[in-house]
Chains A and B, each alone.
Chain A
Amino acid sequence: MTDRNIPVTEDELHAYVDNELPAERRSDVEAWLATHPEDAGRVQSWRAMAEALHARYDSVVNEPVPKRLELERLVQQPRRWLYGAVAACLLAFVAGGGTGWIAHGAVAASPSSFQMFTDDALDAHRLYVVEVRHPVEVPGNERAHLQAWLTKRCGWTVRAPELDATGLKLVGGRLLPGPTGPASFLMYESASGERFTVYTAKAAIETTQMRYTTQNKDGAMFWTDRGVGYVVSGSSDRERLAQVARLVYDQADKGEKSGG
Chain B
Amino acid sequence: MSRIAGSETEVAIRDFRRRYVPLFSTLFAILLGAVLPVVAESPWVPNLGFLVLITWRLMRPEIWPAWAAAAFGVAADLVSGAPLGQSTLLWTLIFLGLDSLDSFLGVRDYWLDWAAAAAAIAFHSVGVWYIALLMHADIGFLVMIPQLAMSVLFYPIAARLILFLDRWRLSR
Do A and B come together as binding partners? no
